[in-house]
């Protein structure tokens, strides 16, 4: 179990929230996201990386590191939201100094490639928010955006879902961890690897082949990560591909094949990931998960 969480202060109207790009460059403006954050009463501060371009990245590694470092260290910034994912956060993570951030934590928001930051910050006992990013705001559902607002402002956050035929029933209270499956596997063996033992693991992914999902799940099993879990929440697995010779299992069957013997609750189809309906979840926090025949309840 985690030691006592060093939870950042929840936001209030008038607070400053920063937008930065630690990975891929933005393909278009984020005016709608800025307007949304301002409608919540927040003052938006844009990083240099929001308009930067260096091949596929939002500026070179040095600029992206400097931009993130600036906002981590600035006491006036109460939350940092990554404008998008893509690829590139792993290239800068080892150059970032989290010492001031650890003393005065603030909310970090994002998903996909931002799993690198979620995983690294988990080891500092500071919770982070997996939720919609500015790039995705134009296509995001209103409930998903409202869930992010609730998470940031410390309002009650609870999800009640319909049952899924693949679910494994059970009830547990434990800390929630996770993120993008590919990135979680990539973090293994590094200083940014999170502690899986006794946790509820959330996973999602996009654009992978079925065999690759299978390979990553077997990696989690062989490394003992699945055996030590308290529960498993499976979010969106979108744009999944198959080879010309079919793999023979869908994503749900792949995951159950390697995890069902551990007899903890498993929830499929959770609305989070590379989805327009990407609801906010808070990593690090103790959550209550109840997977029953009638419904799935996740309460923060």
* Catalytic center residues: 112, 204, 274
CA atoms within 13 A on the CB side of 101: 23
Strand ordering across the sheet containing 107-109: 43-46, 16-20, 77-82, 107-109, 128-130, 281-283
- Rounded to 5 degrees, what are φ and ψ at 94? -75, -10
CA distance 125 to 131: 19
* DSSP calls for 15-45: -EEEEE-SSBPPSS--HHHHHHHHHTTPEEE
CA distance 229 to 208: 24
Tell the burial category of 162 from Cβ atoms under 10 Å away from its Cβ (0-12, 13-18, 19+).
exposed
């Amino acid at each position: 179990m985690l030691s006592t969480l060093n939870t950042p202060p929840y936001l209030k109207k008038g607070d400053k929230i920063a937008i930065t790009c630690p990975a891929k460059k933005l393909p278009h403006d984020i005016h709608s996201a800025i307007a949304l954050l301002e409608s919540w009463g927040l003052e938006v501060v844009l990083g240099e990386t929001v308009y930067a371009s260096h091949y596929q990245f939002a500026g070179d590694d040095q600029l992206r590191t400097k931009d993130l470092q600036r906002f981590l260290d600035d006491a006036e910034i109460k939350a940092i939201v990554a404008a998008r994912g893509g690829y590139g956060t792993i290239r800068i993570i080892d150059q970032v100094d989290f010492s001031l951030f650890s003393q005065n934590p603030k909310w970090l928001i994002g998903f996909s490639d931002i799993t690198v930051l979620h995983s690294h910050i988990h080891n500092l006992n500071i919770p982070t928010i997996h939720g919609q990013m500015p790039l995705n705001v134009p296509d995001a559902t209103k409930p998903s955006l409202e869930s992010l607002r609730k998470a940031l402002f410390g309002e009650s956050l609870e999800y009640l879902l319909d049952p899924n035929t693949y679910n494994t029933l059970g009830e547990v209270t434990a800390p929630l961890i996770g993120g993008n499956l590919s990135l979680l596997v990539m973090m293994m063996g590094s200083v940014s690897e999170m502690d899986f033992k006794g946790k509820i693991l959330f996973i999602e992914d996009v654009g992978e082949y079925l065999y690759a999902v299978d390979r990553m799940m077997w990696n989690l099993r062989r490394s003992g990560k699945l055996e030590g879990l308290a529960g498993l929440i499976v979010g969106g697995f979108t744009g999944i591909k198959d080879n010309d010779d079919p793999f023979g299992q869908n994503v749900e069957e792949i995951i159950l094949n390697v995890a069902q013997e551990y007899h903890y609750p498993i929830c499929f189809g959770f609305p989070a990931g590379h989805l327009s309906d990407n609801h906010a979840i808070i990593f690090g926090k103790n959550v209550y998960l109840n997977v029953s025949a009638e419904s799935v309840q996740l309460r923060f």
